[in-house]
Structure 1
Amino acid sequence: MTGASTRVVVVGAGLAGLIAARDVAASGAEVTVLEARDRVGGRMRGVPMSSGVVADGGAAYLGRQHTELLQLVDDHRLDLVSTGMSGESTFLIDDQRTTTASRVPPLDAVALGDLFDRLEDLVETVRPNAPWLTPDADRLDRLSAQRWLVDGIARPDAHTFFPLFLGEMMAADPAAISVLHMAFYLRSGGGLRYLNAFEGGAQQWRIDGGAHLLAEELAEQLGDRVHVNQPVAAIDQDHHGVVVRCVTDTAHRQSEFRADRVIVAVPPLLAQRIDFRPGLSTPRATTATGRGCAIKVHLGYRSPIWREGGLSGWSVSTSGPLLSTVDDSPSDESAGVLTGFVTGAAASAFSALSPAGQRDAALAHVARLFPQLPPPDTCSITDWITEKYSRGCYAALFGPGDWLRLGPTLTEPHGRIHWAGTETSLEYFGLMEGAIRSGRRAAAEVIDAADATTDSSKVLVR
């Protein structure tokens, strides 16, 4: 036990930061959580759809391999909702609409099989505990995923499907990420088939009422240790301790928090903007590091009326904005919630539209996908690309050169400063499970460091 004399500041009240704060507080330390937003949850966000119905504006899905997340759900007595689908899928391929019982787009099966075989062979070569030590890592980290496709696979339908697949799995434009990052992400998440699956896969369940409930439960446990509207601008440290400085309003008034240790649990692009004194020896992000390109569109109906026509609500389109849709309606069918995903290059183009333009484009696309449906009662758009305190979702995208530059020091403390966040997890990188594991690791580092200091003091006293 660290004892109450140890003071720890956690920067960021997303899932990783809240878990780290919970574990450190349980050790007896004095904990303060600083969150830039006016809410907790980070990239977990609830979107009200109708009375008592909330959709997941951010992170949403989980599967059996996500053991830490499942334990957390159980600890807080939350319920899971199956994402199992019945009914036909809808496909809009080159503006041709078809429906079929299969979830696989009506593209050349040989081309898709060859693509998946090549991806699986590549994924198997990655060292998940140290991707920068993967055989041929230097070449794989310099090569973009798009160039890998162009150089190695000729079939046109594989080229059509590849950006849709990476958009769904990683919210990535293939041109913006390295092959090493793509292969590591898929390996870290349990393999591409597990990540891509609903039944028995990483998308088997969602949390009833929304994943944001986990963050709210954790924050309630922490009570007045959590401070919102506290964007961190600078962190100074010396051999006496750490001072965390926040800019609290437009008048640039500052507040200060003193600590013995700090856990920074924000995405790399945000961590890179903090003024560290002394400065970081290795950056948290580079000019190649990108924002996860994800925008979620939630369409609300009186009930899941597409089911009446034998449709599952699942769709895939080869052109935007909604590259896929899924039925996220509550289990009691008290409302219909159709979630659309705008990812990759399509997300960047969609994000540049005005709010009215985004809504019009989304509704026009849904009308092409499901012409039998009436206009939705509500339309909510969560644009993570422009979100000031996220800078993308699902996770940061490691571009060419990033893993060799950033990977070896990803979790290495900077003096009294420790790192958390799903991008610092070599297990389930980019997922809620990864965020939890990173928070627990960072908390253990802080507790161990405090215990070592205490033991050293006892020796000196003797």
Structure 2
Amino acid sequence: MKACRVAVVGAGLAGLYAARALHASGIDVMVLEARDRLGGRILTTDELGRPAEDGFDLGPSWYWPQMQPAMETLISELGLPSFAQNSEGDVIFERMSREKPQRYRPTLQEQQSLRLSGGTGSAVHALAKEIPADRILLDSTVTAMALSDGGVNLTVKRSQKSADLRAERVVAALPPRLLEANVTFSPGQDVQTAVRWRDTATWMAPHAKFFAVYDEPFWLTAGLSGTAQSMVGPLVEIHDATSASGKAALFGFLGIGADQRVTLGEEVLKQACLAQLSRLFGADALKPRAVLLKDWAADPLTATAADRVGGGHPLPGSAQWVSGAWKDRLILAGSETSPSESGYLAGAVIAAGRAVADILSIMECK
């Protein structure tokens, strides 16, 4: 049986942040990731949907440095360049299908949202570089955890085979709802704990994002910012998604529920989104070089059946995410468990930082 001092389940922003900090502190750590890639809900791709180091963020893309100092500090530590989300130009509002969309001059934003040059995936890659490659295992799904003398035995499925890993402590850097649905615990979690995990909404899980990639940002020439809001749909919120390297794109959040998206089908949705962009931004919108549609509700490593409705940011709660027999062996560090900015990128950093502090405190006392 392989062994480590701390096993980190999940190689998203929270998991990699925690693993990097623990490794830097001299703690033997192993990262287990069910996907065949790093990042979790962070997914930066090229126009064909392939993971890329300079592309479009199909998952989270913004952070607000003044409101989210934890994220700003991390970006500074990693030395990653950023740029402001474009807000120059008019905003479009579409109120009713029988009315022509209206243009408005936007009000000055007090808090400017920033994006990372190359995409949010650049933070993932920068963190991973500071963790030994042999301590990160992809295609490794944790299916069970069992308490034993002095630690936790994890059952890990890899290439249709199961193996065991023993750790003194486990950092679960994934949404509580996903943890409750997919991992069997022995002994089982307290009822109240399991209910809390199950009732905590997973941010982004119900959502879908649509991208249209163009040769030129034609909306800027027309004096438009690329920002639009619509009560008609299918996209309810649209923004300029042009990369720092100049790859022109628009993206929007779909306002259609997960079940209805399945019924309509991907091609119908894509054509409906392009038709809407044409209404809002003109005929040039009908001539993309590529389109992308990422439905997070269809991703089993992000969403459960309970995530197909809703979609608001989870509400911060008490820090007591684990109780009973597991209290001293399991620490939750997904963004949803953060005491502030839960669901956001900053929430992942805060939650992971808290988990690392707890582990270091415990291990220093031994």
TM-score range, shorter chain: 0.7 to 0.9
Report the more deviating stretch, 219-228 or 435-444: 219-228
1:259-318 C-alpha deviation (Å, 9 max, x unpaired): 111111111221102101111112165665545421111110001111111211111110
Structure 2 residue aligned with 1:205: 114
Instruction: Quote how far apart the aligned CAs of 1:321 are.
Output: 1.6
Instruction: Quote how far apart the aligned CAs of 1:66 are.
Output: 1.5
1:187-229 C-alpha deviation (Å, 9 max, x unpaired): xxxxxxxxxxx9432x511111101111111112112211100
Answer whether contact 1:57 1:296 (CA < 8 A) is retained.
yes
TM superposition score normalised by structure 2? 0.86
Structure 1 residue aligned with 2:36: 38
Structure 2 residue aligned with 1:431: 344
Aligned ranges 1:247-326 → 2 under 5 Å: 247-249=157-159, 251=160, 253-273=161-181, 274-281=183-190, 282-283=193-194, 285=196, 288-291=199-202, 292-326=205-239
Distance 1:339 1:411, change over 3 A: farther
- Residue number among 211, 216, 238 corresponding to 2:125 in the alignment: 216
Code of the residue aligned with 1:77 in structure 2: it is G
Distance 1:89 1:387, change over 3 A: same
Separation in 2, partners of 1:65, 1:314: 22
Separation in 2, partners of 1:284, 1:59: 27
Instruction: Quote how far apart the aligned CAs of 1:47 are.
Output: 1.9
1:372 lines up with 2:280 in the alignment:
no
Structure with higher Rg: it is: 1
- Residue number among 136, 139, 146 corresponding to 1:236 in the alignment: 146
The number of equivalent residue pairs is: 346
Separation in 2, partners of 1:53, 1:6: 34
| Structure 1: gaps (5+ residues) | 105-197, 455-462
Code of the residue aligned with 1:424 in structure 2: it is T
Structure 2 residue aligned with 1:86: 88
1:126-166 C-alpha deviation (Å, 9 max, x unpaired): xxxxxxxxxxxxxxxxxxxxxxxxxxxxxxxxxxxxxxxxx
Instruction: Quote how far apart the aligned CAs of 1:69 are.
Output: 1.3
| Larger RCO of the pair (alpha carbons < 8 Å, separation 6+) | 1
Code of the residue aligned with 1:226 in structure 2: it is I
Structure 2 residue aligned with 1:385: 297
TM superposition score normalised by structure 1? 0.69
- Residue number among 23, 28, 41 corresponding to 2:26 in the alignment: 28
Separation in 2, partners of 1:22, 1:389: 23
Answer whether contact 1:41 1:215 (CA < 8 A) is retained.
yes
Answer whether contact 2:177 2:199 (CA < 8 A) is retained.
no
Code of the residue aligned with 1:389 in structure 2: it is L
Q: Which secondary structure state, in structure 2, belongs to the residue aligned with residue 221 of structure 1?
A: coil
**Which structure's residues are more often strand, by fraction?**
2
Distance 1:351 1:315, change over 3 A: farther
Aligned ranges 1:12-161 → 2 under 5 Å: 12-49=10-47, 53-63=54-64, 64-95=66-97, 96-103=99-106
Answer whether contact 1:288 1:398 (CA < 8 A) is retained.
no
Separation in 2, partners of 1:321, 1:336: 21
Answer whether contact 2:12 2:42 (CA < 8 A) is retained.
yes
Code of the residue aligned with 1:98 in structure 2: it is P
Code of the residue aligned with 1:321 in structure 2: it is P
Separation in 2, partners of 1:75, 1:366: 38
Instruction: Quote how far apart the aligned CAs of 1:101 are.
Output: 2.7
| Structure 2: gaps (5+ residues) | none
Separation in 1, partners of 2:338, 2:17: 14
Answer whether contact 2:4 2:30 (CA < 8 A) is retained.
no
> Percent identity of the aligned residues?
29
Q: Which secondary structure state, in structure 2, belongs to the residue aligned with residue 97 of structure 1?
A: coil
Distance 1:438 1:85, change over 3 A: same
Separation in 2, partners of 1:347, 1:97: 28
Instruction: Quote how far apart the aligned CAs of 1:52 are.
Output: 7.6
Structure 1 residue aligned with 2:247: 335
Instruction: Quote how far apart the aligned CAs of 1:398 are.
Output: 8.6
Report the more deviating stretch, 348-357 or 300-309: 348-357
Superposed CA RMSD: 2.7
Structure 2 residue aligned with 1:124: none
Answer whether contact 1:11 1:263 (CA < 8 A) is retained.
yes
Answer whether contact 1:321 1:350 (CA < 8 A) is retained.
no
Answer whether contact 1:12 1:33 (CA < 8 A) is retained.
yes
Answer whether contact 1:351 1:385 (CA < 8 A) is retained.
no
Q: Which secondary structure state, in structure 1, belongs to the residue aligned with residue 101 of structure 2?
A: strand
- Residue number among 322, 337, 360 corresponding to 2:271 in the alignment: 360
